[in-house]
Amino acid sequence: MRVSWKWLKEYVDIPVNPADLADRLTMAGVAVEGLEEPGKGITNVVTGRIVKIEPHPNADKLVVCMVDTGEGELRQIVTGATNVREGHVVPVAVEGAHLAGGLVIKKARLRGVESRGMLCSGQELGLDPKTMPADQAHGIMILPGDTPIGLDIHPVIGLDDVILELDLTPNRGDCLSMIGVAREVAALFGTTLRFPETSVREVPAPTLEGRVRVDIADPDLCRRYVARLFTHVQVKPSPLWMQERLRAAGIRPISNIVDITNYVMMELGQPLHAFDYDTLKEGHIIVRRARPGEVIVSLDGVERRLTGEMLAITDPGGPVAVAGVMGGLATEVTDNTTTVLLESAWFHPVSIRRTSRALGLRSESSTRFEKGIDLEGCLTAANRAAHLLEKIGAGAVAGIVVDNYPQPAQRKTVIVRPERVGHVLGTDISPEETRDVLNRLGFGVKRADSGEILVDVPGHRVDIGLEIDLIEEVARLYGYNRIPATLPYGNTTRGARTREQVLLKRIKDLLAGCGLSEVITYSFTSPAVPDRFKVPAGSPLRQMIRLQNPLSEDQSVMRTMLLPGLVEVLQRNFNRRVTDGAIFEIGRVFLSREGEPLPEERPVLAMAAMGRLPGGWNRAGTPLDFYYLKGVLETLGERMGLGRLVFQPERENPAFHPGRTAYVQVNGERLGILGEIHPNVLENYGLDTRVTGCELDLQAFLSLAGAVPRYRPLPRFPAVERDLAVVVRRDIPAADVLRIIRKVGGHLLQSVQLFDVYEGEQIKEGHRSLAFALKFQAEDRTLTDEEVMAHTAAIAAALAKQLGAELRS
């Protein structure tokens, strides 16, 4: 919110300078982000009238202007501007002038013709081109024809002002208006608030009597709608003083009618909208929910499709405005407009916020409706607009007003206990001080017989509903700096992480310890991802949730997989010659649910790796391949208490290499998939190196996680190691052999590890040799050779019986 110092002083006397006011407002909870002085550094610029314009003798794109600046003689100025005419009053920078951006004006010769100054645009005077009229945004600034010449430009166009930039919290929608800020200033300094004039001199309009009708079909979304009629309207530029104040507020002047609606919105906080009455069918306004599929072309020229949840302003022919957001192009006020129907209404904040987001359209109007406006102020704002219309001579105010107000507002009454105020704030504030603060803020205050304070909440403070809200009001006006610092007391609860948070932190620490780096990718992705990742037709992973207002087509849907995002990260690194790396991400995927408006958000753990990890068992580094991530998963399973993970071959998933992929299982429950990404998929991402990926259902993983492994002292008795080599059929997985060895080995078998796989001349066709290192150990004694041999023989016998394995001699 931009607050003009000059404009603000019209409503309240301010006994301090702008800098001190900014400090006082900030300390009272209305933060001032900065102060802006529009005319600072601009000197020697005056108003001047162009008396004569002649072509430049040596340049087709230049003209020579003779300008009267009130000095007694005409000043010759050469310009290339195309929007100036004889008789125009314009800002003139004379010799020695300083303009915005540090530009200094000197006497010069342009293509052989002397030029004693410069005609100025708004931008050269420090004004934002976006706040200039369309015909002056990139040309010379044209002042009203009755502007006296020879005046310093600062007071003429408001450069002698100071702008306060407010950074408001979401609950202070009442301060999105000059009156709202003035009310705060009056409360801070105990001065009187002056409200703007709303008196109206109405004229009869017998031909239009009974020709304005307002029906509210959805009173839950529109609690009040005021329509006021203006006749004999003459659309033209608004007065300079009004343009000046709108520019100070950051709004571009358009025309007198539109400027009045914006002026009242900035002044009172009530958005208004002006319709060309003659374009409304039968003069009939209907406020209703839009019908699905209805279309309206808004004032910005964009065709917008409405849904049944949006509130529309319609006539019998269809929508003429999107309620609270933007008007329609078909009913726009133009130069040909002679009769105007003014709208001043209250719309439901949540409805406006949802509509604005759904349409991707945010306006000054929607911003105020979203935060809540004063239901009681609709008619006041319409009358203020009528007063301004009459004041600037833009038309006549017809005595035709329709105020459809189905359920008049009931003011809230909140009870405040004086002792509670002191208890919450930790200081002694008397009941008299509490009542004084609330009175200064415009609350109705009465004292009950019990000593409590009964507070009537005015309509503009929609954020006040509880006693604690009013205590906060007392605190900020009393002064936070006056409240002494005290130590907290009372019962406290020690903060702690939940089980899930503890487990997630442990997972991240373990993965980082295994050499992986955490990444965070966007939840939004491209609809082309399922095709790139070879997701089968009909898979639920293809049912992606589309965003209503995406940033781009590449981020237009919600992801259903985490792994493609990691592959994109590796791709970006690979393209920058970083060919080694292992990464992981813990995030959510969004799966569509039939019949449900919201998707299922499923937590997922994904890992991806390529290249080599520096160090390890050879100079080239440890390969970041299938076995690396398999080892990471096994470590994770062991440290998280899941027990042993089982890896079952998977050959059907088209995204992975058919011979280097496995499903990950625990106790028969499938957790996810691990494997080398298929070369065809990698080709889609421009990668010509091997990439291994893994994606696990984190919710199932966490549900199976057990207790934290506890410390166990080192065994006192030595271990006995034996090697066991068996020949089995090639189609028997090593995991099946390991399972039998562990089962038969019993509690004495501390560990078993596969260390060699051999197929060669000594092994018969269709078979292979698997060699295991067995480690036996007892906690209470030293094992004898006979015990170890008996266990080894039992293991060999079990393998022979169940798998047909033979000992390799």
CATH classification at residue 803 = 3.30.70.380
Query: How far apart, in Å, are the Cα atoms of 111 and each of 60, 95, 250, 662?
Result: 11, 19, 38, 81
Cβ atoms of residues 518 and 583 within 8 Å: yes
715 assigned to some structural domain: no
Torsional sign, CA 328, 333, 339, 345? positive
Closest to 397 (Cα-Cα) out of 459, 465, 340: 340
467 assigned to some structural domain: yes
Torsional sign, CA 157, 159, 165, 166? negative
Pair (32, 54) in one structural domain: no
Separation of alpha carbons 581 and 579, rounded Å: 7
Domains of the chain: total: 6
More confident residue, 78 or 621: 78
Q: Provide the phi-psi class of 604: left if phi over 0, else alpha when psi is between -120 and 50, else beta.
A: beta
710 assigned to some structural domain: no
Average pLDDT over residues 584-605: 92
Average pLDDT over residues 143-162: 92
Torsional sign, CA 167, 171, 177, 183? negative
Average pLDDT over residues 474-493: 85
Pair (634, 505) in one structural domain: yes
- Give per-residue burial for 686-706: e unless 16+ CB within 10 Å, then b: ebeebbbbbbbbbebbbeebe
DSSP code, position 126: T
The rounded radius of gyration (Å) of the Cα atoms in the chain is 39
* pLDDT(76) > 80: yes
Pair (378, 450) in one structural domain: no
- Bind-site residues for Mg(2+): 463, 469, 472-473
* pLDDT(133) > 90: no
Domain coverage including residue 770: 720-807
Residue type, 634: E
Separation of alpha carbons 794 and 28, rounded Å: 83
pTM of the full predicted structure? 0.68
CA 115, distance to chain mean position in Å, is: 51
CATH number of the structural domain spanning residue 140 = 2.40.50.140
* pLDDT(707) > 70: no
Pair (374, 227) in one structural domain: yes
Separation of alpha carbons 272 and 324, rounded Å: 9
- Phi, psi torsion values for 188, nearest 5 degrees: -65, -40
103 assigned to some structural domain: yes
* pLDDT(554) > 80: yes
pLDDT digits (tens, 9 = 90+) for 92-125: 999 999 999 889 999 888 988 999 999 999 999 9
Pair (652, 763) in one structural domain: no
279 assigned to some structural domain: yes
Cβ atoms of residues 235 and 219 within 8 Å: no
Mind spelling out the 3-state secondary structure of 323-340? CCCEEEHHHCCCCCCCCE
**Predicted confidence band at 74 (pLDDT cuts at 50, 70, 90)?**
very high
- Give per-residue burial for 292-319: e unless 16+ CB within 10 Å, then b: eebebebbeeeebebbeebbbbbbeebb
Please give the mean pLDDT across all residues of the chain.
92
Q: Across 13-100, where does the E strand assignment appear?
A: 32-36, 43-55, 63-68, 75-79, 89-98
The residues, ordered by sequence, that sit 6+ positions from 124 with a Cβ below 8 Å of its Cβ are 93, 99, 100, 101, 103, 118
Cβ atoms of residues 194 and 10 within 8 Å: yes
By three-state DSSP, how is residue 613 classified? strand
Pair (143, 51) in one structural domain: yes
State which of 404, 428, 452 marks the end of a domain. 404
More confident residue, 450 or 509: 509
Please report, to the nearest 10 degrees, the dihedral formed by the alpha carbons of residues 698, 704, 707, 709 taken in order.
-80
CATH number of the structural domain spanning residue 387 = 3.50.40.10
Pair (557, 668) in one structural domain: yes
pLDDT digits (tens, 9 = 90+) for 271-310: 999 999 999 999 999 999 999 989 999 999 999 999 999 9
Pair (744, 670) in one structural domain: no
Closest to 66 (Cα-Cα) out of 50, 87, 84: 50
By three-state DSSP, how is residue 242 classified? helix
Residue type, 22: A
**Predicted confidence band at 616 (pLDDT cuts at 50, 70, 90)?**
low
Cβ atoms of residues 640 and 650 within 8 Å: no
- Token duo for residue 108: 């010069």
- Token duo for residue 744: 């038969």
Query: How far apart, in Å, are the Cα atoms of 34 and each of 2, 19, 76, 166?
Result: 10, 9, 40, 7
Pair (471, 366) in one structural domain: no
246 assigned to some structural domain: yes
Tell me which residue has tokens 């000046």: 244
Pair (442, 572) in one structural domain: no
By three-state DSSP, how is residue 693 classified? strand
490 assigned to some structural domain: no
pLDDT of residue 619: 59
CATH number of the structural domain spanning residue 532 = 3.30.930.10
The CA-to-CA distance between both ends of the chain, in Å, stands at 88
CATH number of the structural domain spanning residue 462 = 3.30.56.10
709 assigned to some structural domain: no
Pair (177, 326) in one structural domain: no
How much helix, strand and coil, in percent to the nearest 5, is found in the chain? 30, 30, 40
Separation of alpha carbons 529 and 561, rounded Å: 9
State which of 704, 731, 750 marks the end of a domain. 704
Pair (529, 644) in one structural domain: yes
State which of 429, 451, 482 marks the end of a domain. 482
pLDDT digits (tens, 9 = 90+) for 172-199: 999 999 999 999 999 999 999 999 999 9
> Which ranges in 320-391 belong to alpha helices (H)?
349-359, 364-371, 378-391
* pLDDT(441) > 60: yes
- Bind-site residues: 463, 469, 472-473
Separation of alpha carbons 619 and 622, rounded Å: 9
Measured at the CA of 551, the angle between CA 547 and CA 553, to 5 degrees, comes to 75
